[in-house]
Amino acid sequence: MKQSLQLKLGQQLTMTPQLQQAIRLLQLSTLDLKQEIHEFLESNPLLELDDDEQLHSEVPASIESKSAADTVIDTNSEEARVESEWTESIPEELSIDSNWDDTYQSSAAVSDHSSYEGESDTDFENRNAPAESIQDHLIWQLNLTHMSDRDIEIAYAIIECVQPDGYLSISPDDIWESLGIELEDLDIEEVIAVQHRLQRFDPIGVCSIDLRDCLLVQLEAFQSHPLYKSTHNLINHYLPLLGNRDFAQLSRKTKLKDEALKEVVNLIQQLNPRPGSVIDADDTDYVIPDVAVKKRHGVWQVELNNDALPPIKINETYSAMASTAATPEDATYIKTSLQEAKWFMKSLQSRNETLLKVASCIVSRQIDFFELGEEAMKPMVLHDVAEEVGMHESTISRVTTQKYMHTPKGIFELKYFFSSHVNTASGGECSSTAIRAMIKKLVADEPAKKPLSDNKLAAILADQGIQVARRTVAKYREAMNIPPSNERKRLI
C-alpha cells in the first residue's frame, strides 16, 4: 500500500493543566485536601500560610436555601460542561501543552509523615502511632505478672492464637501439641491452667474457647448476685435456647418465672460476648464537615466550614523579587511559581463555590428533612441537582463524594440525601430513605413479645399508601442491621 500525506480537520477538547488540577481538587475529601495544600506549600515558595485572613475570602460565607441555583450553564457535552464550570475563574498564561508532572509535584513524592509548621513532635507521634492490638494489651499485662519461664512461654503461644474478638483460633489441645516439641514433658493441664490465668486478664473472658466459656468467666464477678446459680445454670446448659429467644421453653427448663427469667437475662446482657472488641486496633477515622446548615430567623442557611482548611496567601516578598532577580532563570522560576500559586488558590476558590452551590441546592430540596426528620425525606437523584445548578451529573458526583454536612440532626455525607423513589397509592413518590426511617420507627414501637414480621411491616406500609414488597422490606431492614422478628423477641 502506497504511503501518502493527508490533511484532516477535527475538533478535540484539551484538558489544560489548571483544569485538571481544579477537577482533582474538587473530588478530594477535606483531609486529603489538607494534605494537598501542605504538599503545595512545601513545593512552592510563593505560597504560605496566612494566619490573619481566612481562605477564600471572595466566596460568600453562607447561602440561603432558597437561592440555591443562580447561575445556569448551557452546554451540550459532558466535557464541555466540566470545562465551562471551571475555566471562567482560571487564567491561562502557561502553554496548553505544558507537562502536568513537570508543573506540579506528585503527591506520592512527598512523605506521608510530614506535619504542618508549629505542630509539636509529640502530637505527630500520637497521631501516627499504630493502634494497640489485643495481643499487645495481653503481653503488656503478662510482663507485669509473676510466672515461671515455662508458663510464660505457654502464655505467649496462647496469646498468639487470640483473634481480634478475644477468642482462641485453635483449641488448647492444638496448642499443647504444637508446644510438645519445644517443651519436654508438657501436660495438657499446664496449658489449660495458663489459659485460665489469661482469661482473668483485662478484658475479662479473653482467651476463651467459645461463648459459653467466655460468659462463665465473666459471670464470676457476680457471685454475690442472688440469681448467680440460676444464671450459671442457664449459660452452662441452655445458651442455645436463649440465642433463639425461646423464653417459654427456657422458663420450663430452668423453672424460673417470667420476672426471675427477665432478671437473669438482664444479668447476662451485662456480659460482653466479644471481649476483644474493647481493644480497638483499627485506626480512628475522623470526619470533618465541609459545610454547616443552621436555621436563622426561620431560614435555613448553608455555610462553608472555612476552619477545616489552613488559610493560604501569596508571599509578597518572593513575588516582588520577580523584577529584581539576578538572572533570567531566577525571574522565570519566580513567575512560574507565582502563576502556579494563583492557579491553586483559584482552584480552591472554585471548589468552595461549587460545593456551596450544590449543598445549598440539596438543602432547598430537602427542607422537610431538616424540619421533620428522615420520614419526610424526598426522593432525589444526581440529575435533579445537576439540572437545577446547571452542572453535569459527573460534577455533582465529585462534589458529593466524601463531603460532609453538619446539621442539627447530625453529620451526613452529601450522598446521603440522594435516594431512589417508590410509588405511592395516590400516585406520588416516597424516598427509600423515608421508608427505612418508617420501618425503623415501627420496629422500635413493636410489641416486645410479638415483634412485627416483614410481611406485617409491608402490610402496615401499604395501609399508609406505600406499596413495597416483603423482600424490599427485608432488604431495607438488613441494611439497617435490624435482626429478623424471631431474633427481636424479648421479655416484657
Beta bridge partners of 168: 162
Alpha helix stretches (DSSP H) within 130-227 = 134-142, 149-160, 172-179, 188-199, 211-219
**Average pLDDT for 414-428:** 79
Q: What is the pLDDT of residues 36-56, one digit of tens each?
A: 999 999 999 888 888 765 444
CA 314 to CA 50: how far, in whole Å? Answer: 9
Report the relative pairing of strands 299-304 and 62-64 from DSSP bridges: antiparallel
Helix (H) or strand (E) holding 385: helix 382-389
Q: What is the pLDDT of residues 351-384, one digit of tens each?
A: 999 999 999 999 999 999 999 888 888 999 999 9
Beta bridge partners of 62: 303
**Average pLDDT for 17-29:** 82
CA 80 to CA 82: how far, in whole Å? Answer: 5
Chain position carrying cell 460568600: 60
Angle, vertex CA 458, rays to CA 469 and CA 479, nearest 5: 75
Query: Cis peptide before 164, with omega less than 30 degrees from 0?
Result: no
Please give the distance of CA 167 from its chain centroid, rounded to a whole number: 27
Q: CATH classification of 421-488 is 3.90.1200.10, yes or no?
A: no
Cβ proximity of 184 and 196 under 8 Å: no
**Average pLDDT for 237-260:** 90
Please give the distance of CA 258 from its chain centroid, rounded to a whole number: 42
Instruction: Record the cell numbers describing residue 185, joined without a space.
Output: 514433658
Domain boundaries, the chain: 20-66+74-91+287-407, 134-278, 421-488
Cβ proximity of 241 and 250 under 8 Å: yes
Chain position carrying cell 482462641: 168
Answer whether residue 58 shows pLDDT above 70: no
Q: What is the pLDDT of residues 77-122, one digit of tens each?
A: 444 444 444 444 444 444 434 443 443 333 333 333 333 344 444 4
